[in-house]
Amino acid sequence: MLKAESIASELVALPVQPNGTPWCTQSWPRGSVESADFGKIVDEVFDLSEAQGVTYALLVVKEGRLVYERYAGGAGPIYLQYSWSMAKSITHALVGILLGQGKLDLYAPVDVPEWKDDARAEITMDQLLRMSSGLAFAEDYVDGAMSDVIPMLQFEGRHNTGAFAASMPLEHKPGTFWSYSSGTTNIICRILKNCVGGGASGMLRFMNDELFEPIGIRSATPKFDTSGTFIGSSFLLATPKDFARFGLLYLRNGIWDGQEILPSGWVDYARSPTFHNAEYCYGAHWWMRPDKPSWFNCGGYDGQKILCVPEKDVVVVRLGRTPIEHWPYVSSRLDSLAETV
C-alpha cells in the first residue's frame, strides 16, 4: 500500500508486546527500574531553574509496562495536559486509519477548493504529511507581526483554520522544499473532516471509535474550530498515561492486542526521513534524530515529548513548560533516561 514499505528493511524493527505482559487498555501493568543512575537523571528533569521552566509529568514505559511515573507543579495522573504539536502525530494516525479504510489516497492530489485551477492543485497528502507542500507559512510563536501560526490559532484564522492555511500562496514547487508548518496540518484536518462527515461531532466520534477507545485512551479532548475542523496542529488534551498509550501504539507498529489500528507500513512511513540536517530529522508528522536514526518522537511547544526507542522497547513521556532555548538540556536528560532504563 505504501512506498515506505520498500524501505522498511532499512529501519530498526519495532518490538512486539512481550509474552505474558498484558496490554494497558484498561490499566497499566507495572514494572520497576533497577538502574542506579535513573533516579539522579529523573531529579534533573524535575529540578529545573526558573528560566528552564517546570516539568509536570514524566512517565517511562519499558517492554509494555509502566516502570516509572512522577508529577510536579500541581499536576497529577488525572490532570489533562496540552499536546501542542504532538497533536500532529495524532493527526498522522487519523490519516492512516482512513487510508486503511480506502477513503484517502496518499499520493493523489488532495481536494482543496481554494486550489482549483492553479499550481497548488497538484499537492498530495504525502507532501502535506511530509511538510513539503511548498506553501508559504511562517511558523513563529514569538513575533506576531511575522507569524502565520498566531493569527491562524488566535485571531482572524481561528474560526476556520484549514481555510486560513489553504489560502497561503505557493512559494516552492510541491515536493521540493521542506518547511515545518502548523497550517499544513490544519489543511489535512479539514480534509479529514470532509472525508468523515458530520462536522465536529462526526470527527470526534471517528477519533474515539477508531483510535482512542480501542487502545484505552479515555481522556482525549481535542479542540475544534468554529467550522468543525479538529485543530490538529496544536490542540488536544489528555492525561499523561493516555499520551503514553499513544506512544506505545506506534512502538508496537500500529498493532494493539491483536487488532490492527493503523495499516501495515504506516508507522514505518512516519519514521522514514523527509528532511534532515545536523540537528533535526523529520519524517511524516513525526520527528527523528540524525544521531540516533532509530529513535522517533512526537514533539510540542514548551517541550512536550513522546519518545519511542525501538531497540530498548521504551517510551518516555515528558509534559511541562520549558522555553525553547532551554529545551536541549531537558531533551538530553530524556535521552539519558531512555538509555539508562
What mean pLDDT is predicted for residues 91-113?
97
Q: Is the pTM of this model over 0.85?
A: yes
pLDDT of residue 9: 52
Residue 225 burial (CB count, 10 A): 24
pLDDT tens profile 274-333: 999 988 899 999 999 999 999 999 999 999 999 999 999 999 999 999 999 999 999 999
Host domain of residue 151: 3-340
- State the chain's mean pLDDT as an integer: 95
CATH of the domain at 133: 3.40.710.10
Number of domains observed in the structure of the chain: 1
pLDDT tens profile 116-146: 989 999 999 999 999 999 999 999 887 666 8
pLDDT tens profile 140-198: 887 666 899 999 999 999 999 999 999 999 999 999 999 999 999 999 999 999 999 99
Does the pLDDT at position 2 exceed 80? Answer: no
Which residue in this structure is represented by grid cell 489560502? 167
Does the pLDDT at position 7 exceed 50? Answer: no
304 with 40: CB under 8 angstroms?
Answer: no
pLDDT of residue 142: 75
